[in-house]
Structure 1
């Protein structure tokens, strides 16, 4: 059977669409729902709703608690088991290669994804730009977490106890704008990162090089890594800097969504910083 064109804007399978609607409602509900309540909130006929939840129960995705004559339905952790298997299979280095290349071509600057490893950032992916001049960045490169925008973007969203372990390992850069940073000063810098929605490093790690990066979050709302661009400091100014910031924030949102992150999984202050940065 040919799949043809895109066709009308409707679900390819109404049955699957209804099943997913019921499942999503069960997951997001604060308490168990009766069939009557579930049918009302999903706007699905009661008989159809009953068929769906009984099937979910049979497959182990839903369970019910009987109180008197009422049955209250809730999802089970089998969904979590599926999600955990999927997360283990997700390769952050391959999750947005096409979009990374597009952004690198648009900006004329290489785009990287980094993850935290101890007190270091490891570059796990790179989309390079064509040309004679190439930056000394590559998958596998290791850098101090506090001297890169990639590392700062991650550190800004770590839990307090995890950040505290890193603060004794602040580094002195080799660039002309490097300066010794105390834990207190670094934490103030991270506040700015959270406010802006992205991190900046300007000629601190090395001369003439700057970078911008934005954090990526997983399905649990935890920071999983970051995506950033590297360029000459003279180029990352004005309109080009604004375009780079918009580009990395947008790409970080794309990656976060592919990791299963939904806006409701993040603390409200992160949602706000993401939204404000995206509008810049």
Structure 2
């Protein structure tokens, strides 16, 4: 984890004291081993006396602990932070985490916008921003679809750890739409490579005729893929310029969801700009 120059950070921070405390805590978490106060002060560029005061305060509040060896004190973080994070994760409601942005995108494209999460080998739709009009797509919170036949599922699968993806490959489903192609593991891996290259996934009349979808993944506080944001429309309306517009939109909303889930910007995959 990169530690900013303390002089610059303190100058910019509304509260230099809080900024320094968080810098110490972040360094303790990022360290691969216990740190002495001298090493901690040097790594954070914080004066030794100030660094010691912060470390003892963190210890008193339960966020750090130390091991004493002779005259040396070796510091490390505790799991108190994990407890806080767990509470926050339980309170995060993906069905409402980005509703204003989903609604704005649905209005912009005149197409419904969804959030999906992976459940086994299926994608579950957990949120929807619908559009007004007579025609309504059969996509609703609670709907379940094969992960490999939806852009939502492909966007997630492209960023899964290898062992998790490997477990899903025997469960690939053959599409019934006119655009369905090779459903084998090798072809699917090639498709996921394309998803990672452009940053978003596309499904075009593969699950069913006349329907297409574009989706982008979002990530949690640990930088792990947590779900995806997608747009569904008639295939004829999700081609060319309109597809690029939809792709830019889902990438924008997905980035906002990632931010709200606490994903560090540096952990987001680097993608090409949609042009």
Structure 1 residues 112-138: Cα deviation after superposition (integer angstroms, max 9, x where no partner): 001112222110000112233322211
Provide structure 1 residue ranges, at least 5 long, that are not aligned to the other structure.
1-8
| Alignment match, 1:129 | 131
Distance 1:119 1:277 in 2: 28
Instruction: Give yes or no for the alignment of 1:276 onto 2:271.
Output: yes
TM-score by length of 2: 0.86
- SS, match of residue 247 in structure 2: helix
Structure 2 Cα separation of the partners of residues 177 and 50 of structure 1: 63
- Quick check: 110-119 or 10-19, which moved more? 10-19
Aligned with 2:63 (options 61, 81, 104): 61
- Secondary structure at the aligned position of 2:237 is classed as coil
Q: How far, CA to CA, are the matches of 2:192 and 2:149 in structure 1?
A: 12
Structure 1, 87-96 or 54-63: larger mean CA deviation: 87-96
1:117 pairs, out of 116, 119, 122, with 119
Q: Deviations over 1:209-239 (max 9, x none)?
A: 1111111222233221111111121221222
Q: Deviations over 1:166-215 (max 9, x none)?
A: 22332232322123511221121112112221111001112221111111
Find the aligned partners of 1:65 and 1:28 in 2 and give their Cα distance: 18
Please say which of residues 24-33 and 128-137 is displaced more in the overlay. 24-33
Aligned to 2:108: 106
Residue 55 of structure 1: CA displacement? 0.9
**1:159 — aligned with what?**
161
Question: TM-score by structure 1 length?
Answer: 0.85
Structure 2 stretches lacking a partner, 5+ long: 1-10
Q: Indicate if the aligned counterparts of 1:171 and 1:180 stay in contact, CA closer than 8 A.
A: no
How far apart are residue 61 of structure 1 and its match? Answer: 0.6
Q: CA RMSD in A?
A: 2.2
- Contact preservation (8 Å) 1:250, 1:278: no
Mapping for residues 31-180 of structure 1, pairs under 5 Å: 31-180=33-182
Quote the Cα distance in structure 2 between the aligned partners of 1:208 and 1:144: 18
Q: How many residues align?
A: 265
Q: 2:26 is matched with which residue: 24, 27, 32?
A: 24
